[in-house]
A and B are shown apart, each in its own frame.
Chain A
C-alpha cells in the first residue's frame, strides 16, 4: 500500500534492477565456486550491466548508470580480450560494487535523493581494468587490438574523435565492415559467416505511446543477441535517449544481423519476446559484399554518432536514407516476409504481455473472497430448507455440482497464484555462504535440495531471515576449519544442506551441516550460568538441551565475531517463525553435524478435511492423512507399562491418541467402543486418533490461528464451517508430541 503513489515507471525500474543485480550476483558466486568464468557468464553480466546502465541513465540515476558503465567496461574487456583472470579478486571487486548499487537502489526505494556520482568502489574496477589492460598490452601481438578495442568499446568511443564526417557507413551494412566496428576479428568473422545461414536487415517500430522507445529497442537488441549476431544497428547509440528515443519513435529501429533463424521465426521470436512492437519488417540486405577497407579506429566514431553530430544531421536526411533502404529492400522482400507480416499481425495480441505484477494485498483479498464463496456455497447447498424438498431435486443437484466444480477450479487458480518457488530465497543464501566462508577461511559448499518447492508468498517473506541466521550459525559454530576436519577424517570442504519439501500440506525446511555437532556439556554449563536450569541437567533430553540455544542472549561462543556470538540470531529465528506459526526442532550428533528443521504449517490453502467431534468441539483432520476410520469391536487392546494404549490392527500395533485427553475435554466419550478410531499417518508410521464421532467430509479453507495465540501444539490452523462455527485443524505430529510430553509429565 505504501507504494500506491510510486510512479509505475520507477517501480518497474526498481523491480527490474533489483532482479538483474541479484542475477548478476548469482552468476558471480556460481562462477567463483566453479573457479571459472565462462563466456556465457561474462556475456550475461555484461548484458545485465548494460541494461542497468541504460535504464538508470534514462531514469537519471547517475550513480547507478556510471557504476554500471564501469562494470560493463571491465566485462567488455574480459569478453573481448579474454585475459588471465584472478577470479577471486574479480568477484570480490564486482560483488562489492553490486552491493553499493543495491544500496543505492534501496536509497531510491526509500525515497532518498539519488546520488549522481559513481560509487567509490568503481576505482577498484578501474584499477583492475588498467592492470588487465597493461598486462594484455605487454603481449605485443595484441597491442594494436587492445587499443582498437578501447576505441571500439561503445562507451569509450563516444568521446573519441568526432571529426569523421562520413555518416554513410551507418547504413552500408556489410558484415565485414561492421564486424570491425564491433571489434570482432576478421578470421572469426569469416568462419562465422559460413556458419550462419541468414543475413538480414530487420526494421521494427513500436506502439505510438509506449514511451522509452530506446529502451524497447535495446530490449530487442538484447533478445536478438541471444539468437543472432548483431552486425549493426540504427540508431547506434541507444543510450543517448534524447536523440535515440525520438528517432526510434519517428523512424523505427533497424538492426542488421546474422542468424540461423528463418524470417518468420525471427519475427515470431521478436513478437513474443519484446513488448510494444507494432510492426516488424525483415529484409535480406541488398548489398552483401561491399568491403569497405577502413581502419577500425576510423570506423568506430562513424558507427557511433555522437550527440553533437546527430544534432547537426538534418532530420530529413535520416528520413531520406531510411526510405532509400526500405525502397531498395522492397525488391528483395520476398513472399515469405509478407506472409510473416500476416502472421505477425495475428499473433501480436497474444504475445504482448505475459506477466503482470500484482499487489499481494489484492491477492489476499481475492483469496479471502474465494474462501467466503466456498463457505457460502456450503451454506446454500446444505441449507435446511432445501433438505425439506426430498423428492425430485435432481435439477438442483446438477446445478450445485456445476457450481462446486467451478468454485473448486477457482480455488486452485487463486492458490496457485500465491505460490512462489522457494528457489529465489535459497539462491540468495549462496552469496552469504560465499562471503562468510571467505571471511572465516572455511571451505564450504552449500547444497540446495528441493528449490522448486512452492510455498505461499507470506512464507517466503518470513523465512528469509531465519534461514540466514541458521546458515550463519552452521557456518560459524557448526563447521570446523579445514585442519580439524581432516583430523576428524572428514572431507576438507564442509557441506551445508539447505532443503525444502512438502509433507501432508506442511512445508519442511532443513538446514543441516556436517560439522562438529553441538556440545551437550557446554550448553548445559552455559544454561546454568544463565540461570536457565539448576543442577547438572542429566535428566534433560537432547532436544531439550539443544533448544537452549534458541533462548535470547544464549551463546556458547567466547568471543563475539562479525557473524555470531551475541546470541541474538537464534532469537530472531524463533521470533520470525512464531509469526507464521512455524516450529523449529534441532537434532545434533557430536562429530556428525547439526540439523535445524523448520516446520511451517499450512498457511493458506483449501483442503479436503474430515470433520470429527469430541464432546461439543469440532476438529478437522486433512483427508490426505487419514488411512481408515473404524469402530473398535474385538481388536486387541494393550496397555503398556507407561499407560500407553495400543491397538492391534492387522497384526500391527498402533498407538492410540485420545483427543479428549490430549485437549483435556470434559463430557466426551471415553469408552473406546462407543467412539471412533481414525488411523492417520504420522511420519512413516501411523497412529490412531480417538474421537466421539465422524461428521463428514468437507472442503475447508485453512486459516491461520491468530498469531496472538502463539504456537499451539497439535493445531495447525482453523477453518470456518458452513454454519459459521470454527473448527480447529489438527496437526498429527503435534498430537503425538503432546502425547509424549504428557507422558513425560506424568
Chain B
C-alpha cells in the first residue's frame, strides 16, 4: 500500500509543482507547498503534553495515529486568539514526520510560478524571515511561502530533522 502511495506521489509530483495551499494567520496569507500537505481537518480535542514549548500544543488522534500539533500563531509569535469554527489543522508530512499546523483558516490552492517568488528581504529591515523561504506574488497579493523544514525544527534540540 505504501508503495502505491509513493507511486502516486511520483506521478503527481509534476502536477503538484508550483502549487501552494494558502492559509490565513491574522492579516497575512501564507503558502505551503502542496506536496507536503496530506489533509486538512477541523479542530480536534488536543491532549497537552508536559515540557513542550508553548507553540507545541500537544497531540491529537488522527484515526489511530498520534501526531503532534503546532499552533502557527504561537510559532510565528503572533497574538493568540481563541479557536473558532474555521480554525483548521493542516496535516503535513515532511520527511516522514507528520505534524498538524493550526491555522486561522485555509484559503485556497493556487499556482505560483517560481519566477514570481522573490527571496525574502534580509533581517536588517526588521522583517522576521526565519520561517519564510520566499515571497510569492499573485496579482496584487503577497503570499509568504513557508520554509517547512524550519517550522518543524525544535530550536532547543538543534536540527532534529537532520538525522
Contacts and interface: CB of A to CB of B under 8 A. Distances in A.
Interface of A: 1, 4, 361, 365, 368, 371-372, 375, 575, 579, 617, 662-664, 703, 705-710, 712-715, 718, 720, 724-728
A703 B2 CA distance: 20
B51 interface: yes
Contact of A617 (B48, B64, B98): B48
Given A1-B2, A1-B3, A726-B59, A709 B49 contact: yes
Contacts of B163: 575, 579
Per DSSP, chain A at the interface is: mixed
Contacts of B45: 725
Interface of B: 1-3, 45, 47-52, 56, 59-61, 64, 66-68, 97-99, 152, 154, 157, 160, 163
Contacts of B60: 726
Contact of A726 (B50, B56, B61): B61
B66 A703 contact: yes
Given A715-B49, A728-B47, 15 more contacts: A1-B3, A4-B3, A365-B1, A375-B64, A575-B163, A617-B47, A664-B50, A705-B49, A705-B66, A707-B97, A708-B152, A710-B154, A712-B51, A714-B50, A720-B64
Contacts of B1: 365
Nearest to B70: A708
B47 A718 contact: yes
Contact of B97 (A4, A705, A708, A720): A708
**7 closest pairs, A vs B, by CB?**
A726-B47, A663-B50, A706-B68, A720-B61, A708-B68, A372-B64, A703-B66
Nearest to A575: B163
Contacts of A715: 49-50
A579 B163 CA distance: 10
A484 to B, nearest CB: 38
Contacts, number: 66
Contacts of A710: 154, 157, 160
Contacts of A720: 61, 64, 66
19 contacts: A4-B3, A372-B64, A617-B47, A617-B48, A705-B49, A705-B59, A706-B66, A707-B97, A708-B68, A708-B97, A710-B154, A710-B160, A712-B50, A715-B50, A720-B61, A720-B64, A726-B66, A727-B47, A728-B49
A709 B52 contact: yes
B3 A708 contact: no
A49 B160 CA distance: 44
A662 B97 CA distance: 29
Contacts of B99: 708
A357 to B, nearest CB: 18
A728 B49 CA distance: 8
Contacts of A728: 47, 49
A619 to B, nearest CB: 10
Contacts of A375: 64
A129 B160 CA distance: 53
B154 to A, nearest CB: 7
Nearest to B46: A726
Contacts of B157: 710
Contact of B49 (A361, A575, A712, A724): A712
Nearest to A552: B158
A204 B98 CA distance: 56
A287 to B, nearest CB: 60
Nearest to A362: B1
A607 to B, nearest CB: 16
Contacts of B52: 709
Nearest to B50: A663
B64 A371 contact: yes
A706 B59 contact: yes
B3 A718 contact: no
Contacts of A361: 2
A664 B56 CA distance: 16
Contacts of B2: 1, 361
Contacts of A725: 45, 47, 61
Contacts of B56: 709
Contacts of A718: 47, 59, 66
